[in-house]
Amino acid sequence: MSDYDNTNKGAMFPNRYKEDGDKRPDHTGNLDVGGKEFKIAAWQSTSKAGNSYLSIRLTEPEMSESSSDNDEIPF
């Protein structure tokens, strides 16, 4: 077991699948917030005033059907 605590930490890396002109994020990675894992994506942009900034999106990872604990359909 690792002694390193990843709580409230994350990392982003350049998106190696990004091509000129496509809408894929420039950077992707993972982020832990309070023990809950999120995917993080960022796009490099320039404001109308000419300032560079990152536009960021957090999403919850999609759960696969095999990892579901409950196979019943909720009603």
Q: Mind listing the pLDDT tens digit of every residue in the chain (75 residues)? A: 567 888 999 999 999 999 988 999 999 999 999 999 999 999 999 999 999 999 999 999 887 655 555 556 665
Q: In what order do the strands lie in the sheet with 36-46?
A: 10-14, 27-33, 36-46, 52-59
* Tokens at 46, concatenated: 């320039």
- The domain ranges of the chain are 1-17+25-61
Q: Structure pTM? A: 0.71
